Amino acid sequence: MEKHGAPSLTDGESKKPADAAAVAPVIVDLGSAKKSQIKELAKGQGKLTQRVLGVIEELKSDGTLNGSAQPVIVIVKKKISRKNLLARFL
């Protein structure tokens, strides 16, 4: 069942823009942060969120990012293995 007005893909069409392969991603390393700061960032709040927004504005003003670009923030945490967890307490 298709919604009215919703775009649909036909055979041979792709969701990627034609020049997607030519666009290089912009990667910004904000360094390390406390667990509580990372949780606030995931909620869109706190000091890290302000830093991210500041960096995005700076990249837009420099021309590195298009003004209409939609930023994507991915939060990845290091998983501690059981072996490393035990090593911390020994």
What is the extent of the structural domain holding 59? 32-89
Q: Residue 41 pLDDT > 80, yes or no? A: yes
Q: How many domains does the chain have?
A: 1
pTM, whole model, 2 decimals?
Answer: 0.58
For residues 61-80, give the mean pLDDT. 82
Q: Quick check: is 8 in a domain?
A: no
Q: Residue 56 pLDDT > 80, yes or no? A: yes
DSSP 43: T
Q: Quick check: is 54 in a domain?
A: yes
| For helices 35-42 and 46-62, angle between their N-to-C axes, nearest 10 degrees | 60
Q: Quick check: is 61 in a domain?
A: yes
Q: Quick check: is 26 in a domain?
A: no
Q: Quick check: is 5 in a domain?
A: no
Q: What is the number of other CB atoms lying within 10 angstroms of the CB of residue 33?
A: 15
- Return all residues near 26 (Cβ < 8 A) that are at least 6 apart: 59, 64, 65
Q: Quick check: is 27 in a domain?
A: no
For residues 27-52, give the mean pLDDT. 90
Q: Quick check: is 7 in a domain?
A: no
**Torsion region of 44: left, alpha or beta (phi above 0 gives left; psi -120 to 50 gives alpha):** left
Q: Quick check: is 81 in a domain?
A: yes
Quote the pLDDT of residue 27: 85
Tokens standing for residue 4:
């009215």
